[in-house]
Amino acid sequence: MKVIASREAVGFIREHGGRLYVWADLLRCTGPRCSFLATSVDAPKDPHEFRRFGGEDFELFFSDEGLESPAALKLALAGWRKKWIDVRGVGSWPGMEVRE
C-alpha cells in the first residue's frame, strides 16, 4: 500500500512517538467498501488486526477490518486547536482518487 503524507502530518506523527494507527470505522461503513477511516497516534483500546508498514519517517499500522483495502492512503494534518491526522483512502474505492 502506498502512503502519501504531508510534511506536517509526518512531523506530527514523529512528535507523538512515530506510529500511526489507521482502521476502517465499521460503524460508518456500508457494504464491502469503506470510505470512513479512523486514526490515532496511540494504540486503540478496541482489538484490531493491524498490518505493519514501515517507512523511513514513521510506522503505519493499518487494519481494513476485513473489507477491501485502498490502494493508497493520503495523510494530512487537520484540526485547529486539537491536531489530528486526517486520512483518505485512494484508488480502489469509488470516488477516492488523488490528483497531484
Torsion angles phi and psi, residue 63, rounded to 5: -130, 120
pLDDT in tens, 62-73: 987 777 777 888
pLDDT for 95 beyond 50: no
The residue type of 8 is E
pLDDT value for 67: 72
Distance, in Å, from the CA atom of 67 to the CA atom of 53, rounded to the nearest integer, reads: 18
Cell of 92: 480502489
Cell of 34: 469503506
Domains identified in the chain and CATH numbers: 2-90 (2.60.300.12)
pLDDT for 100 beyond 50: no
Cβ atoms within 10 Å, residue 87: 24
Order of strands, edge to edge, in the sheet holding 84-90?
2-5, 72-78, 84-90
Query: CB of 19 within 8 A of CB of 31?
Result: no
pLDDT in tens, 14-58: 999 999 999 887 665 555 555 578 899 999 998 889 999 887 899
pLDDT value for 46: 86
Average pLDDT over residues 69-91: 88
pLDDT value for 29: 53
Query: CB of 75 within 8 A of CB of 85?
Result: yes
